[in-house]
Chains A and B, each alone.
Chain A
Amino acid sequence: MATQTESESSGGVLMRDRLVKRVGEAAAGGFVLAIGGLLAWILSTQVDYELLSSPLIARRFAEAFFLVVQIVVISSLLSVTLGVFVGLGRISTSRITGRIAKGYVEFFRGTPLLFQLFVIYFGVPRLWATGEFPFPDWALPAAIIGLTLNHGAYVGEAIRGGIDAVPDGQMEAARSLGMSRVMALREVVLPQAWRNALAAIGNDQIILVKDTSLLTVIAVPEIMSVFRNINSNQLDPWTPLVWVCVLYLVITMSMSQLVNGLERRSDWGSDSRMFGRLSGLGSGGDADGGEEA
């Protein structure tokens, strides 16, 4: 009797599960149809394909694209480097260093990037007498400094979170072997913290890519600037928007590929790595030894 009730009720639950799944599929399918239809309509009626493929706009977008790639590569490397030091500052045993790092993070996460860019681009040159500021082409350096300082704060917090997630036993074990705190951080804690923080850092670096679109307001000739220019000349937003969309996706998707690659590389001895080694070895002589115990 009891078993019957149970099987009946679990049958009911199964039915509901299936229903929810079907509703989800219908919603997702409907969404794809709606967006796909809209996109097809725009691409067929709104986009001027002659303009889209004209060498003039292609060249201007290509120039902007390579500029953005350069800005992203430099700001990325600088902000991740800065972030490592900010993260280390946050866990410093010196209270002063810890507070300075915290204050830095609070300021750069707590104010808009656009504000920071204005401070650096418009504000800083005014600290010199008129005509004395030594950098005539200040837009690009200002952009890189702004992106680096802003994203250094986010990367710093990701690194600190990554360090916090390393069990205390790791530091204790390293120190018990006679390593200094700095050596233990470098050899034992940071490599693990880096792995823990990678996903969050990758996320932030993708946001950095998109943040370059703000640079249009400090006269950096990046992708959005080209769009604004073409739109105001041609009175045709959709054609250049196709370029904008594709170019940003090219950068952000390469960035995720890079992050995925880095994550796989630090997947020490877990299943995927084991399989990687197994297939790399062909028959996998020594790699399957770990399974036996």
Chain B
Amino acid sequence: MTRPLVEFDGVDKSFGDTQVLYDVDLSVDEGEVVVVIGPSGSGKSTLLRCTNRLEEIQAGDIRLDGRSVIETDVNEIRQQIGMVFQSFNLFPHKTALENVALAPEKVKGRPEAEAREAAAELLDRVGLADQAESYPNALSGGQQQRVAIARALAMEPKVMLFDEVTSALDPELVGEVLDVIEGLAADGMTMVLVTHEMGFAREVGDRIVLMADGRVVERTETASFFEEPGTERGRQFLSRLL
């Protein structure tokens, strides 16, 4: 069961002259939920965006299931990595169902009826069966984000990446999105989450990765991190939150 699914190996990333990731090593096992935390600007989101090559890295390698992400066709590798964004990014000209069915139909060439049927099941799974025909405009932020999760799941990815997916939500809508993610964790989905919801990180994360200034400064089992961080940076980060 514990075989590494996503591996970061000495990853460096710069935007122009500004280096934002320094020699990042990280391994995510199959079925594992890794929560990446850290102060703003520490490179958490960039790390996720490098994984599906929304950003190109300057040195090192990222492997998915043993294959180098860098050397594989970008459109092929992205089909295996589900990405959910802070700002949902649903397609406003498509209904919830069409948002979910679009990529399986166009990218994987599934027949339309089959893609729509699968999309309806996924919407049911995120609790939005009754909103299938709604346009994103008519949905709340929490509902939109759940559709976005269903849309990513529709490609049957090996790993799901969540980039601060509750940060743009009204507080009372955060719970419904976190419930969906918890459900995925229970189903054994491999996930990397960047979040500021510490309570949730503690609940759902198998492991906590703390980043600061573009480096991984601590990686610890969730329980022990919140009881007694292994590093000074970890202690500082937690104390500032409390």
Q: Which residues of A contact B (CB under 8 A)?
A: 167, 169-170, 172-180, 183, 187-188, 191-192, 195, 266, 268-270, 273-274, 286, 289-291, 293
Contacts and interface: CB of A to CB of B under 8 A. Distances in A.
B240 interface: no
A33 B181 CA distance: 68
27 contacts: A169-B89, A170-B89, A173-B83, A173-B89, A174-B103, A176-B81, A177-B79, A177-B103, A177-B107, A177-B155, A178-B76, A178-B78, A180-B75, A187-B106, A188-B91, A192-B93, A268-B92, A268-B93, A268-B135, A269-B92, A269-B95, A269-B138, A289-B131, A290-B131, A290-B138, A291-B138, A293-B173
Interface stretch (B7-15, B18-26, B139-147, B204-212): B139-147
B131 A191 contact: no
Contacts, number: 90
A293 B138 CA distance: 9
A178 to B, nearest CB: 4
For the residues of A in contact with B, the DSSP-based class is helix
Interface residues of B, number: 38
Nearest to B54: A172
Contacts of B219: none
B6 interface: no
B166 interface: no
Interface of B: 52, 54, 75-76, 78-79, 81, 83, 85, 87, 89-95, 102-103, 106-107, 130-131, 133-140, 142-143, 148, 151-152, 155, 173
B225 to A, nearest CB: 29
Most chain A CB neighbours (cut-off 10 Å) among B75, B131, B138, B151: B138
Given A269-B136, A286-B133, A293-B139, A179 B91 contact: no
